[in-house]
Amino acid sequence: MPSPVLRQSRLLCAALTMGLVMALAALPTALPNSSHPWARSIHLPAATAQRFQIDEIWQQIYEEVPGIPLENEYVNKDTGDVSTDNTLINRLIRYHIYVKGRPTAYRLDWKLTLADYLGVNERMDAETYPSGTSMRTNPLDGDIVAIKGLNRAQRDALVNALVSLFNPSSQTSSEPAPATPSPPSPTVAPSPTSTPSRFPRQPQPGDAQLLQP
């Protein structure tokens, strides 16, 4: 029969083990479930809020920059229909935001995306290209040919339109004009009569009368 000390030790170990198990169970897992509100808040991609603008923006691009091909003749694998809303600019924007994770506020980042299409920057992967797996024909090769067919003025206009449409506030804000310095006031030279003399005043006729009572 175990001694009282041994029994107490076993009970203490069991209590500590149970407490540790309960504490671990109460902690959040290292990879939170995506259904948890907190988990959803930290796993939202930075560009999620912009996906609602894409459909509106690519249509405005075609209105503002003439001559850009639609490239919207690709057939959807699931429906068998031509996806007329799946255009070149639609895919370019999604490639820029979702594939490359580039910001939309700077001309340089959009120029880097165009440089990808022109083959002078980063290599483009057909498997990750937007709509590459949902269309019967991957649109990447056709999009590259279309972008290369744009002249320099069209590419510059495209970049300017993308920046202004994604960041309209940057176009309306104006910096206050610098204050015009007022001209210095002219310095008035003191009159000769107001300048004190370094020499004592010479006696004048009639000064003696001033001493009379």
Per-residue pLDDT tens over the stretch 35-45:
333 333 333 34
Q: Which residues pair with 82 in a beta bridge?
A: 75
pLDDT at 30: 36
Residues 6+ apart with CB under 8 A from 42: 32
Residues 6+ apart with CB under 8 A from 52: none
Tracing tokens 């290292």 back to the chain, one arrives at 30
Structure tokens given for 80: 């068998």
> Could you give the 3-state DSSP secondary structure of residue 54?
helix
Query: Residue 145: CA atoms inside 13 Å, Cβ hemisphere, count?
Result: 6
Tell me what the mean pLDDT of segment 151-170 comes to.
94
Tell me what the mean pLDDT of segment 139-154 comes to.
98
Nearest to 62 by CA among 37, 44, 84, 40: 84
- pLDDT of residue 179 exceeding 90, the answer is no
Task: Kindly report, residue by residue over 115-124, the tens digit of the pLDDT.
Answer: 999 999 999 9
pLDDT at 64: 96
- pLDDT of residue 58 exceeding 50, the answer is yes
CA angle 107/111/117 to nearest 5° reads 155
Residue pair 100/46 in contact by the 8 Å Cβ criterion: no
Structure tokens given for 73: 């003749």
Q: Which residues pair with 76 in a beta bridge?
A: 135
| pLDDT confidence bin for 145, thresholds 50/70/90 | very high
Tell me what the mean pLDDT of segment 105-114 comes to.
97
- What residue segments make up the domains of the chain, in order of their start? 48-64+78-168
pLDDT at 75: 98
